[in-house]
């Protein structure tokens, strides 16, 4: 059964959320949001999904404030972060390229990334572009550190990195990524060629499983209808659902 790159990544994300009670998704995250909704479908509806800035199934009244409160109270089990740059120690850069504060490229800023990185137990890094421009030896600015020194209270941190090419896990004790699987049509060599930092290899590195027909049915129906409420352009492009669809 044919599937799109986006549908494959949605399925990859959903598998990483197995056993999660409450997952929160930030703004501009249609694939992680879809993956969270798919994981909820696969859980039989027992998982809570909160999408920042979204309508359905978002139930918050004050978005960011409630997100931070929930994280501080230990009521968010998983969250997604990305970055203009990500390095081999899982540090992320959301500020810009070059020497701060005189950067030649400036991005939107860190917002609450460091706060959530420290508090949420399962942070999944997600960045579709897998190039040496993004996955760098060392970020130019640390918006949120991947690890912390001993004796610093930190219940949260990175557990995985998903890109267009592969899936990494992250070992916080060794402060290194490990390549777990490569997506269909790609190879370990291609991942190495396009990654600016060194990483370990699982034994063996497998091919990332494609979505099953049953999973694709969920993605293209209940998940697509629900994500269209928050990301209508994404739903229209990927699933052919018209803008303004309400589940």
DSSP state of 124: E
> Contact at 8 Å (CB) between 179 and 162?
no
Percent of the chain scoring above 90 in pLDDT: 85
pLDDT at position 247 is 43
Percent of the chain scoring above 70 in pLDDT: 93
pLDDT in tens, 154-186: 999 999 999 999 999 999 999 999 999 999 999
* Domain ranges, ordered by start, for the chain: 5-239
User: Both tokens of residue 71?
Assistant: 């994280």
Q: What CATH number is given for 5-239 in this structure? A: 3.40.1080.10
If one compares 62 and 55, the residue with the highest pLDDT of the two is 62
Q: Rounded to 5 degrees, what are φ and ψ at 16?
A: -75, -10
User: Both tokens of residue 72?
Assistant: 């501080």
- Asked if residue 227 has pLDDT above 50, the reply is yes
User: Both tokens of residue 133?
Assistant: 């421009």
pLDDT at position 55 is 55
Split at pLDDT 50, 70, 90, the class of 28 is confident
Give dist(CA 46, CA 242) in Å, integer.
Answer: 28
pLDDT at position 246 is 46
pLDDT at position 68 is 92
User: Both tokens of residue 113?
Assistant: 């990334």
pLDDT at position 27 is 81
Q: Name, in order, each residue with C-beta under 8 angstroms of 125's C-beta and a sequence gap of 6 or more.
A: 80, 81, 82, 83, 86, 90, 92, 158, 160, 161, 162, 170
pLDDT at position 60 is 61
pLDDT in tens, 82-127: 999 999 999 999 999 999 988 999 999 998 999 999 999 999 999 9
Split at pLDDT 50, 70, 90, the class of 26 is confident
Give dist(CA 224, CA 217) in Å, integer.
Answer: 10
């Amino acid at each position: 059964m044919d599937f799109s790159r986006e549908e494959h990544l949605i399925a990859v994300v959903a598998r990483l959320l197995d056993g999660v009670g409450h997952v929160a998704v930030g703004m501009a995250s249609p694939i992680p949001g879809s993956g969270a909704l798919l994981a909820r479908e696969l859980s039989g509806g027992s998982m809570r999904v909160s999408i920042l800035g979204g309508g359905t199934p978002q139930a918050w009244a004050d978005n960011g404030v409630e997100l931070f409160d929930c994280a501080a109270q230990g009521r968010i089990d998983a969250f997604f972060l990305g970055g203009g740059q990500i390095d081999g120690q899982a540090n992320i850069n959301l500020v810009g390229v070059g020497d701060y504060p005189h950067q030649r490229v400036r991005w939107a800023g860190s917002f609450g990334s460091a706060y959530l990185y420290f508090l949420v137990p399962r942070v999944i890094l997600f960045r579709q572009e897998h190039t040496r421009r993004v996955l760098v030896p060392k970020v130019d600015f640390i918006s949120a550190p991947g690890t912390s020194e001993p004796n610093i209270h930190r219940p949260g941190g990175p557990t995985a990195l998903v890109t267009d090419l592969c899936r990494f896990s992250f070992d916080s004790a060794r402060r290194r990524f490990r390549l777990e699987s490569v997506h269909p049509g790609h190879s370990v060599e291609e991942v190495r060629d396009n990654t600016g930092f060194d990483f370990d290899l699982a034994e063996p590195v497998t091919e990332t499983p494609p979505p099953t027909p049953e999973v694709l049915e969920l993605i293209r129906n209940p998940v697509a209808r629900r994500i269209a409420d928050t990301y209508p352009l994404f739903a229209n492009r990927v699933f052919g659902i018209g803008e303004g669809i309400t589940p």
